[in-house]
Protein backbone atom coordinates (compact mmCIF):
# COMPACT_ATOMS: atom_id res chain seq x y z
CA UNK A 1 0.00 0.00 0.00
CA UNK A 2 1.41 3.35 -1.05
CA UNK A 3 1.89 6.09 1.50
CA UNK A 4 -1.00 8.47 1.21
CA UNK A 5 -3.80 10.27 3.00
CA UNK A 6 -7.17 8.68 3.77
CA UNK A 7 -10.18 10.95 4.20
CA UNK A 8 -13.51 10.30 5.90
CA UNK A 9 -16.49 12.56 5.11
CA UNK A 10 -19.47 12.34 7.49
CA UNK A 11 -22.57 13.98 6.02
CA UNK A 12 -24.75 14.80 9.02
CA UNK A 13 -27.93 16.82 9.35
CA UNK A 14 -26.43 19.41 11.70
CA UNK A 15 -22.71 19.23 10.84
CA UNK A 16 -20.45 17.89 8.11
CA UNK A 17 -17.29 16.43 9.60
CA UNK A 18 -14.03 15.55 7.90
CA UNK A 19 -11.23 13.39 9.30
CA UNK A 20 -7.87 12.90 7.58
CA UNK A 21 -5.55 9.99 8.32
CA UNK A 22 -1.95 9.58 7.28
CA UNK A 23 -0.59 6.13 6.49
CA UNK A 24 3.03 5.55 7.45
CA UNK A 25 5.18 2.44 7.70
CA UNK A 26 6.96 1.18 10.79
CA UNK A 27 10.50 -0.20 10.76
CA UNK A 28 9.28 -3.73 10.05
CA UNK A 29 7.21 -2.49 7.11
CA UNK A 30 3.88 -2.72 8.89
CA UNK A 31 1.46 0.10 7.97
CA UNK A 32 0.32 2.47 10.71
CA UNK A 33 -2.53 5.01 10.75
CA UNK A 34 -2.40 8.41 12.44
CA UNK A 35 -5.28 10.90 12.32
CA UNK A 36 -3.67 14.25 11.47
CA UNK A 37 -6.73 16.41 10.88
CA UNK A 38 -10.36 16.78 11.93
CA UNK A 39 -12.73 19.63 11.09
CA UNK A 40 -16.44 20.31 11.08
CA UNK A 41 -18.73 22.83 9.40
CA UNK A 42 -22.46 23.56 9.73
CA UNK A 43 -24.59 21.38 7.50
CA UNK A 44 -27.39 22.63 5.27
CA UNK A 45 -29.44 21.02 2.55
CA UNK A 46 -29.20 17.59 4.22
CA UNK A 47 -31.90 16.22 6.52
CA UNK A 48 -32.14 12.70 7.94
CA UNK A 49 -29.64 11.44 5.38
CA UNK A 50 -31.55 12.92 2.45
CA UNK A 51 -30.76 15.92 0.27
CA UNK A 52 -33.43 18.57 0.87
CA UNK A 53 -31.69 21.37 -1.05
CA UNK A 54 -29.11 20.34 -3.62
CA UNK A 55 -27.23 23.64 -3.94
CA UNK A 56 -27.12 24.16 -0.17
CA UNK A 57 -25.76 20.64 0.30
CA UNK A 58 -23.03 21.21 -2.30
CA UNK A 59 -22.06 24.49 -0.66
CA UNK A 60 -21.91 22.96 2.83
CA UNK A 61 -19.80 20.00 1.68
CA UNK A 62 -17.44 22.33 -0.21
CA UNK A 63 -17.01 24.51 2.88
CA UNK A 64 -16.16 21.52 5.08
CA UNK A 65 -13.63 20.20 2.55
CA UNK A 66 -12.00 23.63 2.19
CA UNK A 67 -11.53 23.82 5.97
CA UNK A 68 -9.89 20.39 5.98
CA UNK A 69 -7.61 21.30 3.05
CA UNK A 70 -6.44 24.45 4.84
CA UNK A 71 -5.70 22.39 7.94
CA UNK A 72 -3.58 19.72 6.23
CA UNK A 73 -2.13 21.94 3.50
CA UNK A 74 -2.88 19.67 0.53
CA UNK A 75 -5.94 19.25 -1.72
CA UNK A 76 -8.41 16.43 -0.99
CA UNK A 77 -9.25 14.40 -4.09
CA UNK A 78 -11.20 11.41 -2.76
CA UNK A 79 -12.87 10.24 0.42
CA UNK A 80 -14.79 7.47 2.14
CA UNK A 81 -18.25 8.96 2.56
CA UNK A 82 -20.64 8.10 5.38
CA UNK A 83 -24.33 7.85 4.55
CA UNK A 84 -27.25 7.34 6.92
CA UNK A 85 -30.98 7.86 7.21
CA UNK A 86 -34.19 5.93 7.66
CA UNK A 87 -34.27 4.98 3.96
CA UNK A 88 -31.39 2.55 4.51
CA UNK A 89 -32.33 -1.01 5.38
CA UNK A 90 -30.64 -4.35 5.92
CA UNK A 91 -31.80 -7.83 4.96
CA UNK A 92 -30.43 -11.34 4.84
CA UNK A 93 -29.51 -13.06 1.59
CA UNK A 94 -27.96 -16.31 0.43
CA UNK A 95 -25.65 -17.08 -2.45
CA UNK A 96 -24.71 -20.46 -3.93
CA UNK A 97 -22.06 -21.32 -6.54
CA UNK A 98 -20.04 -24.26 -7.75
CA UNK A 99 -16.32 -24.11 -7.02
CA UNK A 100 -14.53 -23.22 -10.25
CA UNK A 101 -11.31 -25.26 -9.96
CA UNK A 102 -11.38 -28.95 -10.94
CA UNK A 103 -9.41 -29.89 -7.81
CA UNK A 104 -12.05 -28.18 -5.62
CA UNK A 105 -9.56 -25.70 -4.14
CA UNK A 106 -11.47 -22.58 -3.04
CA UNK A 107 -9.84 -19.29 -4.00
CA UNK A 108 -10.68 -15.65 -3.27
CA UNK A 109 -12.32 -15.46 -6.71
CA UNK A 110 -14.89 -18.03 -5.56
CA UNK A 111 -15.64 -15.94 -2.47
CA UNK A 112 -16.20 -12.92 -4.69
CA UNK A 113 -18.53 -14.90 -6.98
CA UNK A 114 -20.65 -16.29 -4.15
CA UNK A 115 -21.03 -12.79 -2.67
CA UNK A 116 -22.05 -11.53 -6.11
CA UNK A 117 -24.65 -14.30 -6.17
CA UNK A 118 -26.00 -13.11 -2.81
CA UNK A 119 -26.05 -9.57 -4.14
CA UNK A 120 -28.02 -10.58 -7.24
CA UNK A 121 -30.46 -12.54 -5.08
CA UNK A 122 -31.78 -9.35 -3.45
CA UNK A 123 -31.15 -6.77 -6.16
CA UNK A 124 -34.18 -4.45 -6.43
CA UNK A 125 -34.67 -1.76 -9.05
CA UNK A 126 -35.28 1.05 -6.54
CA UNK A 127 -32.45 0.11 -4.15
CA UNK A 128 -28.71 0.76 -4.23
CA UNK A 129 -26.64 -1.88 -2.43
CA UNK A 130 -24.01 -0.34 -0.16
CA UNK A 131 -22.53 -3.43 1.50
CA UNK A 132 -22.55 -7.18 1.03
CA UNK A 133 -21.29 -8.51 4.35
CA UNK A 134 -20.68 -12.25 4.69
CA UNK A 135 -21.81 -13.74 8.00
CA UNK A 136 -20.82 -17.37 7.40
CA UNK A 137 -19.97 -19.78 4.62
CA UNK A 138 -20.88 -23.42 3.99
CA UNK A 139 -18.88 -25.93 1.97
CA UNK A 140 -20.80 -28.99 0.75
CA UNK A 141 -23.28 -28.55 3.59
CA UNK A 142 -20.71 -27.94 6.34
CA UNK A 143 -21.64 -24.60 7.89
CA UNK A 144 -20.12 -22.16 10.34
CA UNK A 145 -17.06 -21.36 8.22
CA UNK A 146 -15.68 -17.84 8.53
CA UNK A 147 -13.08 -17.88 5.76
CA UNK A 148 -13.30 -20.67 3.13
CA UNK A 149 -10.21 -19.64 1.15
CA UNK A 150 -7.77 -22.55 0.96
CA UNK A 151 -10.37 -25.19 1.80
CA UNK A 152 -11.72 -27.73 -0.68
CA UNK A 153 -15.22 -28.52 -1.83
CA UNK A 154 -17.68 -28.57 -4.70
CA UNK A 155 -20.52 -26.31 -3.53
CA UNK A 156 -19.90 -22.97 -1.77
CA UNK A 157 -22.71 -21.11 -0.01
CA UNK A 158 -22.82 -17.86 1.92
CA UNK A 159 -25.23 -16.26 4.35
CA UNK A 160 -24.82 -12.51 3.92
CA UNK A 161 -26.20 -9.26 5.25
CA UNK A 162 -27.16 -6.76 2.55
CA UNK A 163 -27.19 -3.06 3.48
CA UNK A 164 -29.05 -0.98 0.90
CA UNK A 165 -30.55 2.46 0.48
CA UNK A 166 -33.22 4.05 -1.69
CA UNK A 167 -31.70 4.58 -5.12
CA UNK A 168 -32.94 8.16 -5.56
CA UNK A 169 -31.71 9.28 -2.13
CA UNK A 170 -28.28 7.70 -2.62
CA UNK A 171 -27.92 9.24 -6.06
CA UNK A 172 -28.84 12.71 -4.85
CA UNK A 173 -26.32 12.59 -2.02
CA UNK A 174 -23.62 11.15 -4.24
CA UNK A 175 -24.25 13.72 -6.94
CA UNK A 176 -23.87 16.52 -4.39
CA UNK A 177 -20.48 15.12 -3.34
CA UNK A 178 -19.26 14.72 -6.92
CA UNK A 179 -20.35 18.28 -7.72
CA UNK A 180 -17.69 19.53 -5.29
CA UNK A 181 -15.01 17.79 -7.38
CA UNK A 182 -14.47 15.03 -4.81
CA UNK A 183 -14.24 11.36 -5.81
CA UNK A 184 -15.96 8.77 -3.63
CA UNK A 185 -13.75 5.82 -2.77
CA UNK A 186 -16.63 4.00 -1.11
CA UNK A 187 -20.00 4.79 0.41
CA UNK A 188 -20.20 3.42 3.97
CA UNK A 189 -23.27 3.10 6.17
CA UNK A 190 -22.57 5.54 9.03
CA UNK A 191 -23.42 3.23 11.99
CA UNK A 192 -20.93 0.68 10.64
CA UNK A 193 -18.24 3.36 10.44
CA UNK A 194 -18.99 4.41 14.03
CA UNK A 195 -18.77 0.79 15.13
CA UNK A 196 -15.41 0.48 13.38
CA UNK A 197 -14.09 3.38 15.43
CA UNK A 198 -15.37 2.59 18.92
CA UNK A 199 -15.23 -1.22 19.21
CA UNK A 200 -12.56 -3.88 19.02
CA UNK A 201 -12.67 -7.48 17.83
CA UNK A 202 -13.31 -8.87 21.32
CA UNK A 203 -16.44 -6.79 21.79
CA UNK A 204 -17.71 -7.74 18.33
CA UNK A 205 -17.18 -11.39 19.13
CA UNK A 206 -18.98 -11.21 22.49
CA UNK A 207 -21.90 -9.14 21.21
CA UNK A 208 -22.19 -5.36 21.21
CA UNK A 209 -24.68 -2.69 20.17
CA UNK A 210 -23.45 0.71 18.98
CA UNK A 211 -25.84 3.66 18.98
CA UNK A 212 -24.74 6.52 16.77
CA UNK A 213 -26.90 9.37 18.09
CA UNK A 214 -27.02 12.19 15.58
CA UNK A 215 -29.06 15.35 15.25
CA UNK A 216 -32.15 13.86 13.62
CA UNK A 217 -31.63 10.07 13.67
CA UNK A 218 -30.00 7.33 15.72
CA UNK A 219 -28.25 4.52 13.90
CA UNK A 220 -28.12 1.06 15.48
CA UNK A 221 -25.53 -1.60 14.65
CA UNK A 222 -25.41 -4.93 16.48
CA UNK A 223 -22.41 -7.25 16.10
CA UNK A 224 -22.08 -10.78 17.43
CA UNK A 225 -19.53 -13.52 16.74
CA UNK A 226 -17.53 -10.95 14.77
CA UNK A 227 -20.30 -10.37 12.21
CA UNK A 228 -23.02 -7.80 11.67
CA UNK A 229 -26.20 -9.21 13.17
CA UNK A 230 -28.60 -6.32 12.70
CA UNK A 231 -28.71 -2.66 11.75
CA UNK A 232 -31.43 -0.04 11.48
CA UNK A 233 -32.12 3.66 12.00
CA UNK A 234 -34.50 5.28 14.49
CA UNK A 235 -35.92 8.72 13.54
CA UNK A 236 -35.03 10.32 16.89
CA UNK A 237 -31.97 12.46 17.58
CA UNK A 238 -30.66 15.33 19.66
CA UNK A 239 -32.70 17.89 17.72
CA UNK A 240 -35.88 16.30 19.10
CA UNK A 241 -34.64 17.06 22.63
CA UNK A 242 -34.12 20.69 21.58
CA UNK A 243 -37.62 20.82 20.09
CA UNK A 244 -39.14 19.42 23.30
CA UNK A 245 -37.40 22.08 25.38
CA UNK A 246 -38.57 24.80 22.98
CA UNK A 247 -42.17 23.63 23.27
CA UNK A 248 -42.04 23.09 27.03
CA UNK A 249 -40.52 26.51 27.76
CA UNK A 250 -42.21 28.36 24.87
CA UNK A 251 -38.91 29.64 23.53
CA UNK A 252 -37.17 29.60 20.16
CA UNK A 253 -35.10 26.64 18.99
CA UNK A 254 -31.91 28.68 19.28
CA UNK A 255 -32.66 29.53 22.91
CA UNK A 256 -33.62 25.93 23.65
CA UNK A 257 -30.35 24.68 22.15
CA UNK A 258 -28.32 27.08 24.30
CA UNK A 259 -30.16 25.97 27.44
CA UNK A 260 -29.67 22.29 26.55
CA UNK A 261 -25.94 22.74 26.02
CA UNK A 262 -25.48 24.77 29.21
CA UNK A 263 -27.74 22.92 31.67
CA UNK A 264 -29.21 19.89 29.89
CA UNK A 265 -29.32 16.60 31.79
CA UNK A 266 -31.34 13.41 31.42
CA UNK A 267 -31.25 12.85 35.21
CA UNK A 268 -33.66 15.33 36.84
CA UNK A 269 -33.44 13.50 40.18
CA UNK A 270 -29.80 14.60 40.49
CA UNK A 271 -30.64 18.30 40.01
CA UNK A 272 -31.20 20.58 42.99
CA UNK A 273 -34.95 21.48 42.97
CA UNK A 274 -34.01 25.06 43.89
CA UNK A 275 -31.79 25.53 40.80
CA UNK A 276 -33.39 27.93 38.33
CA UNK A 277 -32.48 29.95 35.23
CA UNK A 278 -33.88 32.99 33.48
CA UNK A 279 -34.55 32.25 29.80
CA UNK A 280 -33.73 35.88 28.94
CA UNK A 281 -30.09 35.15 29.83
CA UNK A 282 -30.04 32.71 26.89
CA UNK A 283 -31.67 35.06 24.38
CA UNK A 284 -35.31 34.74 25.38
CA UNK A 285 -37.64 37.62 24.52
CA UNK A 286 -38.91 38.06 28.04
CA UNK A 287 -37.81 37.22 31.55
CA UNK A 288 -39.09 33.87 32.81
CA UNK A 289 -37.69 31.82 35.67
CA UNK A 290 -37.60 28.09 34.94
CA UNK A 291 -36.59 25.18 37.17
CA UNK A 292 -33.64 23.16 35.88
CA UNK A 293 -35.30 20.05 37.27
CA UNK A 294 -38.30 20.71 34.99
CA UNK A 295 -35.97 20.98 32.00
CA UNK A 296 -34.36 17.70 33.06
CA UNK A 297 -37.77 16.01 33.16
CA UNK A 298 -38.45 17.15 29.58
CA UNK A 299 -35.11 15.75 28.43
CA UNK A 300 -35.49 12.51 30.36
CA UNK A 301 -38.85 11.75 28.74
CA UNK A 302 -37.40 11.98 25.21
CA UNK A 303 -34.24 10.03 26.05
CA UNK A 304 -36.30 7.28 27.65
CA UNK A 305 -38.40 7.11 24.47
CA UNK A 306 -35.22 6.73 22.40
CA UNK A 307 -33.92 3.85 24.50
CA UNK A 308 -37.35 2.19 24.60
CA UNK A 309 -37.31 2.13 20.80
CA UNK A 310 -33.80 0.65 20.89
CA UNK A 311 -35.09 -2.00 23.27
CA UNK A 312 -37.87 -2.88 20.80
CA UNK A 313 -35.27 -3.33 18.06
CA UNK A 314 -33.18 -5.62 20.28
CA UNK A 315 -36.27 -7.68 21.07
CA UNK A 316 -36.84 -8.21 17.33
CA UNK A 317 -33.54 -10.10 17.16
CA UNK A 318 -33.85 -11.75 20.59
CA UNK A 319 -30.93 -9.82 22.05
CA UNK A 320 -32.73 -7.86 24.75
CA UNK A 321 -30.43 -7.96 27.79
CA UNK A 322 -28.18 -10.51 26.05
CA UNK A 323 -25.21 -8.52 24.74
CA UNK A 324 -22.19 -9.12 27.04
CA UNK A 325 -20.23 -6.14 25.68
CA UNK A 326 -23.27 -3.94 26.24
CA UNK A 327 -24.26 -0.75 24.48
CA UNK A 328 -21.80 1.90 23.32
CA UNK A 329 -23.08 5.43 22.81
CA UNK A 330 -21.41 7.67 20.29
CA UNK A 331 -22.22 10.59 18.00
CA UNK A 332 -22.80 14.21 18.95
CA UNK A 333 -26.10 13.44 20.70
CA UNK A 334 -24.40 11.01 23.08
CA UNK A 335 -22.65 13.84 24.93
CA UNK A 336 -25.77 14.87 26.84
CA UNK A 337 -25.20 14.23 30.58
CA UNK A 338 -27.14 11.29 31.98
CA UNK A 339 -27.39 9.30 28.72
CA UNK A 340 -25.40 6.35 30.06
CA UNK A 341 -27.46 6.11 33.26
CA UNK A 342 -30.79 6.21 31.41
CA UNK A 343 -29.50 3.65 28.91
CA UNK A 344 -28.53 1.24 31.69
CA UNK A 345 -31.92 1.66 33.35
CA UNK A 346 -34.03 1.12 30.24
CA UNK A 347 -31.95 -1.47 28.38
CA UNK A 348 -30.72 -3.43 31.41
CA UNK A 349 -27.31 -3.69 29.77
CA UNK A 350 -23.86 -2.22 30.39
CA UNK A 351 -23.67 1.24 28.80
CA UNK A 352 -20.66 3.41 28.07
CA UNK A 353 -19.45 6.26 25.88
CA UNK A 354 -17.47 5.30 22.81
CA UNK A 355 -14.47 7.17 21.44
CA UNK A 356 -12.31 6.40 18.44
CA UNK A 357 -9.52 3.92 19.21
CA UNK A 358 -6.79 5.30 16.95
CA UNK A 359 -3.52 7.22 17.21
CA UNK A 360 -3.82 10.95 16.69
CA UNK A 361 -2.11 14.27 17.25
CA UNK A 362 -5.55 15.88 17.83
CA UNK A 363 -7.09 13.85 20.70
CA UNK A 364 -9.41 16.66 21.79
CA UNK A 365 -11.33 16.29 18.50
CA UNK A 366 -10.63 12.76 17.30
CA UNK A 367 -11.57 11.23 20.65
CA UNK A 368 -14.78 13.27 20.78
CA UNK A 369 -17.89 11.10 20.18
CA UNK A 370 -19.17 13.49 17.52
CA UNK A 371 -16.22 12.58 15.27
CA UNK A 372 -16.67 8.82 15.60
CA UNK A 373 -18.20 8.35 12.14
CA UNK A 374 -15.65 10.51 10.32
CA UNK A 375 -12.74 8.78 12.06
CA UNK A 376 -14.38 5.39 11.60
CA UNK A 377 -14.56 6.03 7.86
CA UNK A 378 -10.79 6.60 7.78
CA UNK A 379 -10.23 3.40 9.79
CA UNK A 380 -12.60 1.52 7.45
CA UNK A 381 -10.58 2.72 4.47
CA UNK A 382 -7.28 1.86 6.15
CA UNK A 383 -8.45 -1.68 6.86
CA UNK A 384 -9.83 -2.12 3.33
CA UNK A 385 -6.65 -0.92 1.64
CA UNK A 386 -4.39 -2.83 4.03
CA UNK A 387 -6.24 -6.08 3.36
CA UNK A 388 -6.34 -5.34 -0.35
CA UNK A 389 -2.59 -4.86 -0.43
CA UNK A 390 -2.00 -8.05 1.52
CA UNK A 391 -4.59 -10.10 -0.30
CA UNK A 392 -6.18 -11.09 2.98
CA UNK A 393 -9.75 -11.39 4.15
CA UNK A 394 -11.74 -8.91 6.19
CA UNK A 395 -13.56 -11.67 8.03
CA UNK A 396 -12.24 -10.40 11.36
CA UNK A 397 -14.19 -7.16 11.10
CA UNK A 398 -16.83 -7.30 8.41
CA UNK A 399 -17.17 -10.85 7.27
CA UNK A 400 -15.39 -12.89 4.66
CA UNK A 401 -14.30 -11.46 1.36
CA UNK A 402 -16.58 -8.44 1.37
CA UNK A 403 -13.63 -6.14 0.82
CA UNK A 404 -12.77 -7.89 -2.42
CA UNK A 405 -16.30 -7.43 -3.66
CA UNK A 406 -16.44 -3.76 -2.70
CA UNK A 407 -13.11 -3.03 -4.36
CA UNK A 408 -14.46 -4.50 -7.58
CA UNK A 409 -17.66 -2.47 -7.58
CA UNK A 410 -16.20 0.88 -6.53
CA UNK A 411 -14.97 1.95 -9.97
CA UNK A 412 -18.21 1.27 -11.90
CA UNK A 413 -20.05 2.86 -8.98
CA UNK A 414 -18.16 6.11 -9.61
CA UNK A 415 -18.84 5.95 -13.35
CA UNK A 416 -22.57 5.39 -12.87
CA UNK A 417 -23.05 8.33 -10.54
CA UNK A 418 -20.73 10.69 -12.36
CA UNK A 419 -22.92 10.19 -15.42
CA UNK A 420 -25.63 12.16 -13.62
CA UNK A 421 -23.47 15.28 -13.48
CA UNK A 422 -24.06 17.96 -16.11
Do 55 and 195 fall into the same domain? yes
Closest by CA to 240, choosing from 221, 266, 272, is 266
Q: Residue 162: which H helix or E strand, with range?
A: strand 155-166
In a domain, 374, yes or no: yes
In a domain, 215, yes or no: no
What three-state secondary structure class fits 224?
A: strand
**How far lies 88's CA from each of 91, 156, 231, 403, in Å?**
10, 29, 9, 20
Which CATH number fits the domain that encloses residue 109? Answer: 3.30.1490.110
Do 257 and 376 fall into the same domain? no
Do 59 and 183 fall into the same domain? yes
Q: Which of 294, 311, 339 is the last residue of a domain?
A: 294
Answer whether 8's CB lies under 8 Å from 37's CB: no
Of 82-91, 344-353, 398-407, the one with minimum mean pLDDT is 398-407
Do 392 and 255 fall into the same domain? no
Q: Which of 114, 143, 163 is the last residue of a domain?
A: 163
Q: How many CA atoms lie within 13 A of 403 on its CB side?
A: 22
- Considering only CA atoms, give the Rg of the chain: 22
In a domain, 234, yes or no: no
pLDDT digits over 219-251, tens only?
A: 999 999 888 999 999 999 999 999 999 999 999
**How far lies 153's CA from each of 100, 111, 183, in Å?**
10, 13, 40
Name the residue range of residue 41's domain: 1-86+164-199+357-422
Which CATH number fits the domain that encloses residue 392? Answer: 3.30.420.40
Number of compact structural domains in the chain: 3
Closest by CA to 127, choosing from 171, 186, 96, 161, is 171
In a domain, 136, yes or no: yes
pLDDT digits over 143-198, tens only?
A: 889 889 999 999 999 999 999 999 999 999 999 999 999 999 999 999 999 999 99
**pTM for the whole structure:** 0.88
Using alpha carbons only, give the angle 408, 389, 192 rounded to the nearest 5 degrees. Answer: 65
Do 27 and 172 fall into the same domain? yes
Do 11 and 148 fall into the same domain? no
Q: Which of 145, 163, 181 is the last residue of a domain?
A: 163
In a domain, 402, yes or no: yes
Do 172 and 52 fall into the same domain? yes
Closest by CA to 253, choosing from 264, 245, 261, is 245
pLDDT digits over 359-418, tens only?
A: 888 888 889 999 999 999 999 999 888 776 543 333 333 433 333 333 333 334 444 444
Do 110 and 134 fall into the same domain? yes
In a domain, 212, yes or no: no
Do 185 and 73 fall into the same domain? yes
In a domain, 229, yes or no: no
Do 276 and 420 fall into the same domain? no
Amino acid sequence: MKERLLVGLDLGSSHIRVAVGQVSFLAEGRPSLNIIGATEAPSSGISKGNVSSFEDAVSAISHALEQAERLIGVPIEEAYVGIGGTHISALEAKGVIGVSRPDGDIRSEDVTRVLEAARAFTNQANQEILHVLARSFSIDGQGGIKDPVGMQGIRLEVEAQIVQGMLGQVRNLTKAVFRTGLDITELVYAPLAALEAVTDLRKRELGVCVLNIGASTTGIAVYEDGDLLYTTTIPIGSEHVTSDIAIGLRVSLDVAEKIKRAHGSALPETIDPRSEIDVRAFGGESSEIVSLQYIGEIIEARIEELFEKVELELKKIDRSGLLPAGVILTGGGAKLPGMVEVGKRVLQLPCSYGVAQVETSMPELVHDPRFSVAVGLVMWGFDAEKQGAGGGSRSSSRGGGASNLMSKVSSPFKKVFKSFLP
